[in-house]
A = this chain, B = another copy of it.
Amino acid sequence: MKQITIKTSTHSYNIYTGKNIRFNVKEFLPKKYSSILIISDDTVNGLYLDDVKGSFSADEQVFHSVIPSGESSKSIHTYYQLQTDAIKFGLDRQSLIIALGGGVVGDIAGFAASTYMRGIDYIQMPTTILAHDSSVGGKVAINHDLGKNMIGSFYPPVAVVYDVHTLQSLSEREIRSGYAELIKEAFIADEAFFHTLMSTKLHEISAEQLEMHLLEGIKIKASIVENDEKETGIRKYLNFGHTLGHALETEKGYGTLTHGEAVAIGTLFALRVSESVFTSNLPYDIYYEWLKNNHYPLHLDHLNIEKIIKMMKSDKKAVNKQVQMVLLRNITEPTVVEVDDQDLKQLLDIFLRELVKN
């Protein structure tokens, strides 16, 4: 088992990673709770709920709620249902919520915890690679019909318990999705890690490699969050690839493209824009080839560019209705740039045509 501690100006909590630690969740809790609500989705529920529940003794009050798998669960409707469950189960201010699942479960369960009775403790138990990113740092949210993650809080968990054994049940698509965030982290913070990832073939990856990559990603994320919990400065860099990524996810309908798949394309586009703004020499082609070789879906047609630009303008990072994009002056040198609508439209148009052509 490995342990990384996150210390921000106001909070401190531990991230535990290791094989089969889901069976010992109770050991990682910072205090005793009056009752516990485990929230998972209908995929994870069947796989790991009993393991986690088994960590607690029979006389403890442990309840569970199951939400449908997929991004469409990050809705106000499901959120309200979780609040109803929490009230009906009798959760009080001394209760704990456990978010057992991928990014969707972590985001909605964390947001439910942040607002139930004005906030109770929760822990993150990620079961996907992708969730290494969302489970660390305390950004929790649900989607609005008009935009992703528009309703949420900054509300750190009291612990992150990451059982890497659960990653063995992931599909290829979920592995691809997770690696998109790892590559993003490498781009903004660690060039050697980037090259390591580019030499990785996802279909033949070993459990050891995966755990190593995951820890590398968590370390990058942790170091950024420690310095800027509320995203007033450098934390914005973690949105590299997400400006177009979020818009694509929304436009294609949550769930059509996975979050990671959308971010992969968004990252590629951010590289293209970076080249255009800074005329720097970024590894666009290397990354593009890697995406293709690892079977990322790159052919997007029937996209309404006007609508996508409009969504990019309503992104949470936008200020005064101008798109703010994280770009790279060079690899590991991110910066936030306000991009002109017309330039953006032209670049996006060319970029999407290229993707369809190749």
Contacts and interface: CB of A to CB of B under 8 A. Distances in A.
B150 A90 contact: no
Contact of A118 (B92, B94, B139, B314): B139
Interface in A55-106: 76, 80, 83-84, 87-88, 90, 92-94
A90 B313 CA distance: 9
Contact of A144 (B87, B145, B320): B87
A10 interface: yes
How many subunits of this chain does the assembly comprise? 2
Please tell me the size bucket of the interface on A: 35 or more
B80 A115 contact: no
Contact of A94 (B94, B144, B319): B319
Interface stretch (A17-25, A151-159, A287-295, A300-308): A151-159
A314 B93 CA distance: 11
Interface string A103-146: 00000000000111111000000000000000000010100111
Contact of A115 (B84, B87, B153): B153
B34 A153 contact: no
13 contacts: A10-B10, A83-B150, A87-B146, A87-B147, A87-B314, A88-B146, A90-B321, A92-B318, A115-B115, A116-B151, A118-B153, A118-B231, A153-B153
